[in-house]
Structure 1
Amino acid sequence: MACIDALKAISSQLIVLHHLAFYGPMSDAAHVLAPGLLDWFSQYARIAVQVFLVISGFLAARSLAPGGHLMVPRPLQAIWHRYQKLVVPYTAAILIAIAGAAIARTWMHHDSIPGAPGLHQFLAHVLLLHNVLDFDALSAGVWYVAIDLQLFALLMVALWAARRCEQWFDVGGSPMGPLVVAGLALASLFWFNRDATWDIWAIYFFGAYGLGTLAFWASEPERSPVALLLLCAVVLAALAVDFRLRIAVALAIALLLGTARRGGWLEHWPQAQFLAFFGRISYSVFLVHFPICLVVNALVFHLAPQRPVLNALGMVLAWLLSNAAGALFHRYVESGAPLRALRLALWPAAHEPVQRQQAGQQRST
């Protein structure tokens, strides 16, 4: 989908630039050259995470319940498949992050460098429980991977519960899934997302994720555009109660995706091969950029600690190397044949896509 690829490409670059501006001494030294730009990257570029939350919800609705009814016959197996799809490249990236931090520590001491991990800390990361168990992160942004799995599982449980209610109460052809998801999204928007103590749990982020899910259902070409307008009105009400820029951005992205789907240009606009490429590698760039940035930060700090121009060039170099590393990681790890072989060896039953399960279910009915 060209529109989604473009959004992922731009957002992943903003996250890399945010971490370059927020962490490490290079941005401190280069700040005098472009204070406004670096401050913007440091304070606001992180909101690009909301784009990924909305897109994830949008695509989850498309794959799990395109008509509002859960189409997955084995929800727990689908959650397990999602976990192993996320965690195998993520674990490889964590190992790279550990190595990168060890290299960086030889050249500088800085708060942005994670300490050497213990076994429990590493296992907590692999199980995506590091935030819940209050372990320090081994790389920037790893919280998102854990939240992504939580959100997927919460959506799956909500859709499964809705399916059971449909069976129990014999509601006919009317899906209850959108109602349950809307209830969770409302709870997040009006309550949980306003309390940062919930930010290690899916419900805190379900407002944005649910917006993506609801935008998919509301953008059915046969459906009245009133559904999207109603979605917009509810979110505007939540913003009137407590304005949050992150939710405003999530609403804008949800409306963009919904409008693009209704208009038939979600798959075809924009026509830009480079955006499609950077969209494809966005998860890999997200996973590996931080250790690359750490090592470049440490090297430049070691060689030219107080030279703004060289530190600014170091930031550019770190950004370029992050994308190059992401492209290699995507090719050889995230989607590479060795990784697929490892997945089949470790989880022989998990390689069958959820879509194939759905197709089999449809053929048998």
Structure 2
Amino acid sequence: MRAFAALTIVWHHFALYAPLTDWAAPLLGGFLAWLAQYARATQVFFVVSGFVAAQTIGTRVWSVNQLGRFAIQRYCRLGLPYLAIVVAILPIYEFARGWVPDDVLGQPVSLAQFLAHLFFLQDILGYEALSAGLWFVCINFQLGFGYAFGMVLQQRFGRGKEGIFTLLGWGSSIYSLFHFNLDPGGECWAMYFFPYFFMGVLVHKALVRRSPIEFVAFLGLMVLAILYEWRWRLVIAMLFGMMLFVAERSGLGQRWPRSRLIAALGKISFSLFLVHFPVLVLVGALWARMEWNSPEAAVLGLLFAFLLSLASAWAFHRWVETPSALLSKRFRAPDPVDGQDVAGRRLLLER
């Protein structure tokens, strides 16, 4: 699912940003227009993120003191690769300035804009993003921290029961689906995307409890939201949420993918998500400088940018993403229990 989503997003951006897509239009205009309009799959990442978070964050015993360490841990895991792209794209923009349209590159980077990126605040404060897709990292950080905070509330005040988080999850989803998600101005906040994330959490819950009742009820809520106002993004989230549930429920998720290529693409999907736009800008600037602007040359440029993105993602995963993930593990706080409280912890996790 991650491999599919990453490839879809890559080609969506390749079809969206000049100059290669403009030059290739005489040959691939209809196909590129379709990709620009419909090839959207970030919802898949959010559904999978919720599922994985429920497997990891949701199985810990939490205290308020752990939230700070979790924020640092999460920043290392997501923020360091994100910052590596922010730094790497600056010289690429300088190389491309004057050859790639300004509406792709944006204005020259200011210090305030750069500092806003350091703290995941560029969209909230109204600064231009330095690369396509950086908003996803900011939202994912918000969702992860929000979920951890929900676990703290549940375990601190819910006495091990799920009532508090369930109430928060359903209430936030209803508010988002019927109000917040209808306003494009809310895309800089996790609330806009929360229903997709919560769907992944409910998939995990349904599998652990071996009862899909709550998950099916949530699908019904999504259908009502679609009837209230049509949104293709909700349909995508529903389809992949159901696919994830069926795959894990049937055991297919433990046996598939058998293809090493698909498994490898899924493994480097986050890196591919980050590196493909700088690569596209670099190739577009190079093609412009060399005056390779015929339709045939532009199509070859898109293919070259795609292959270079895959190679760059593999290198980025190995040398940046993996070390960042290993570093993040050092900041994970130990569960606040001692050796005499293991039985109580196990009971809490079972509940």
TM surpasses 0.5: yes
Match of 2:347 in 1: none
Structure 1 position 115, deviation (Å): 3.2
Q: Give the distance between the partners of 1:267 and 1:175, measured in 2 at CA.
A: 31
* 2:183 counterpart (170, 188, 195): 195
* 1:39 counterpart (33, 38, 41): 33
Which sits farther off after the overlay, 277-286 or 258-267? 258-267
Structure 1 position 229, deviation (Å): 2.1
**Matched AA of 2:7:** Q
Within 5 Å, give how 1:3-18 maps onto structure 2: 7-18=1-12
Secondary structure of the equivalent of 2:253? coil
Secondary structure of the equivalent of 1:239? helix
Match of 1:29 in 2: 23
Q: CA RMSD in A?
A: 2.2
* 1:19 counterpart (13, 28, 36): 13
Cα gap change, 1:307 to 1:253, in 2 (>3 Å): same
TM-score, normalised to structure 2's length? 0.90
Structure 1 position 219, deviation (Å): 2.6
1:184 pairs with 2:196: no
1:72 pairs with 2:66: no
Structure 1 position 236, deviation (Å): 0.7
Structure 1 position 235, deviation (Å): 1.0
Secondary structure of the equivalent of 2:82? helix
Alpha carbons 2:100, 2:281 under 8 Å: kept: no
1:212 pairs with 2:200: yes
1:318 pairs with 2:297: no
Structure 1 position 163, deviation (Å): 2.5
Secondary structure of the equivalent of 1:78? helix
**Matched AA of 2:181:** N
1:292 pairs with 2:279: yes
Alpha carbons 1:97, 1:290 under 8 Å: kept: no
Secondary structure of the equivalent of 1:135? coil
Alpha carbons 1:9, 1:278 under 8 Å: kept: yes
**Matched AA of 2:289:** H
* 1:57 counterpart (50, 65, 88): 50
* 1:143 counterpart (135, 146, 150): 135
Alpha carbons 1:162, 1:180 under 8 Å: kept: no
Cα gap change, 1:359 to 1:335, in 2 (>3 Å): farther
Within 5 Å, give how 1:1-365 maps onto structure 2: 7-45=1-39, 47-66=40-59, 71-73=61-63, 74-105=66-97, 107-167=99-159, 173=161, 175-220=163-208, 222-304=209-291, 306-336=293-323, 343=327, 351-353=330-332, 357-358=334-335, 364-365=341-342
Q: Give the distance between the partners of 1:108 and 1:264, measured in 2 at CA.
A: 48
Cα gap change, 1:208 to 1:173, in 2 (>3 Å): closer
TM-score, normalised to structure 1's length? 0.87
Relative to its length, the structure with more helix (as a share) is 2
List per-residue Cα deviations over 1:327-357 (Å, max 9, x = no partner).
Answer: 1111111114xx579x58xxxxx61446xx3
Alpha carbons 2:72, 2:331 under 8 Å: kept: no
Structure 1 position 254, deviation (Å): 1.2
Q: Give the distance between the partners of 1:87 and 1:143, measured in 2 at CA.
A: 12
Which sits farther off after the overlay, 245-254 or 150-159? 150-159
Q: Give the distance between the partners of 1:362 and 1:37, measured in 2 at CA.
A: 61
**Matched AA of 2:11:** L
**Matched AA of 1:62:** Q
Match of 2:345 in 1: none
List per-residue Cα deviations over 1:310-330 (Å, max 9, x = no partner).
Answer: 001100001110111111111
Alpha carbons 1:215, 1:258 under 8 Å: kept: yes
Q: Give the distance between the partners of 2:322 and 2:262, measured in 1 at CA.
A: 18
Structure 1 position 231, deviation (Å): 2.0
List per-residue Cα deviations over 1:118-145 (Å, max 9, x = no partner).
Answer: 2221111011111111111111111111
Q: Give the distance between the partners of 1:307 and 1:260, measured in 2 at CA.
A: 45
Alpha carbons 2:43, 2:233 under 8 Å: kept: yes
Unpaired segments ≥5 residues, structure 2:
343-351
Alpha carbons 1:211, 1:254 under 8 Å: kept: yes
List per-residue Cα deviations over 1:179-222 (Å, max 9, x = no partner).
Answer: 321221221112110111211111111111111112211232x4
Structure 1 position 295, deviation (Å): 1.1
Q: Give the distance between the partners of 1:173 and 1:107, measured in 2 at CA.
A: 59
Cα gap change, 1:269 to 1:192, in 2 (>3 Å): same
How many residues align? The count is 340
